[in-house]
Amino acid sequence: MALSVKHLLGIKELQTEDIHRIFRTADNFKQVLQRQIKKVPTLRDTTIANVFFENSTRTRISFELAERRLSADVVNFSASGSSVSKGETLIDTVNNILAMKVDMVVMRHSASGAPWFLANHIDASIINAGDGINEHPTQALLDAFSIRERLGDVKGKRIAIIGDIMHSRVALSNIYCLSKLGAEIMVAGPPTLIPKHIEGMGVKVEYDVKKALMWCDAANVLRIQLERQHKPLFSTLREYGLYYGINKHMLDALEREIVIMHPGPINRGVELSSDAADSKQSIILDQVENGVAIRMAVLYLLSGKSSGELPE
């Protein structure tokens, strides 16, 4: 088997060698994406459904592009405008899509654990494109891949994850992924947005963002996930920006240049100023670019068409 798992539900279930295999395969696909003809026949005759029960810009377009670059047939489903509004269940929805001879399902859902639930009820491979506050595995893979590309390696690097750790699936998947790859990890932000006992996952905790910036080689800055906060956990966005936001002036005051990352969407002027987000220290658009190669690698390795040989 190309990976030790049938589905990509979370980074937690992956072995470290799986991550390295995904990176090596993505290196290869990244070269394909530099060519004039950016398409390979690898997944011809494979049909993939992108099933999105929650909004997305980057992940959805990135998966669709990855599928099309691999010559797969693609169908897109979004909950709005579907029969979900008429009371159809998740399993019925997906089983009806699979009855049309779909081989793989990419799913985003607002309920944590939804892809695990589905994996127990259907035969097709499932790729989690983000489930509630739980995991966003392909985001963590593309983040770590982008760190490896910019800093040469992930092992031994100091990575600060800054912002709303409590409600972020990107934070949790990053912690699993970076830990498996041997990075040192710090989480930073307001105490109300950092889960209690998170030190048990082997991460440092810092409430002073300037100290986190001084410590790290790369800062992965997260937005405030207001849609998942049912009670206010800080006073106002303006005050959050004043105390926990990162700007270019703060980066220039550091003794050395650090790398700035963000999974998107950015709330400019809140967690990150435009001059920091658009600076040469920022690899935010490299992350987006790398997302296509990473997703091509994941789809290929889970498709059952991977012989262990990398596609030319």
Q: Point out which span in 10-18, 65-73, 259-267, 292-300 binds ligand CP (CB under 6 A).
A: 259-267
CA distances from 86 to 80, 83, 89, 108, 305 (A): 11, 5, 9, 20, 37
The nearest distance, CB 55 to ligand CP, in angstroms, is 7
The nearest distance, CB 276 to ligand CP, in angstroms, is 18
Amino acid at position 91, single letter? I
Minimum CB distance to ligand CP smaller for 56 or for 279 = 56
| Residues in 109-138 at the binding interface with ligand CP, rule: CB under 6 A | 130
Which of 156, 182, 191, 265 is in the footprint of ligand CP by CB under 6 A? 265
Per the omega criterion (within 30 degrees of 0), is the bond before 191 cis? no
DSSP string, 236-250: -HHHHHHHH-B-HHH
Is residue 195 part of the contact set for ligand CP (CB under 6 A)? Answer: no
Is residue 285 part of the contact set for ligand CP (CB under 6 A)? Answer: no
Which of 56, 78, 112, 279 is in the footprint of ligand CP by CB under 6 A? 56
Which of 115, 137, 190, 263 is in the footprint of ligand CP by CB under 6 A? 263
The nearest distance, CB 169 to ligand CP, in angstroms, is 8
Residue with tokens 């599928």: 67
The nearest distance, CB 262 to ligand CP, in angstroms, is 9
Assess contact for 145 and 23: CB atoms under 8 A: yes
What's the token pair of residue 223? 């937005």
Kindly tell me the burial class for residue 5, based on how many C-beta atoms sit within 10 Å of its own C-beta (0-12, 13-18, 19 or more): middle
Is residue 264 part of the contact set for ligand CP (CB under 6 A)? Answer: yes
Minimum CB distance to ligand CP smaller for 173 or for 281 = 173
The nearest distance, CB 207 to ligand CP, in angstroms, is 25
Is residue 139 part of the contact set for ligand CP (CB under 6 A)? Answer: yes
Is residue 57 part of the contact set for ligand CP (CB under 6 A)? Answer: yes
What backbone torsions phi and psi does residue 75 show, to the nearest 5 degrees? -125, 140
- 3-state DSSP call for residue 20? helix
What's the token pair of residue 17? 């060698």
The nearest distance, CB 264 to ligand CP, in angstroms, is 5
CA distances from 61 to 23, 30, 32, 57 (A): 20, 17, 18, 6
Q: Closest Cα partner for 298 from 16, 19, 12, 15?
A: 19
Q: Point out which span in 51-59, 96-104, 209-217, 293-301 binds ligand CP (CB under 6 A).
A: 51-59
Residue with tokens 């998170």: 198
Is residue 163 part of the contact set for ligand CP (CB under 6 A)? Answer: no
Using CB under 6 A, list all residues that contact ligand CP. 56-60, 130, 139, 263-265
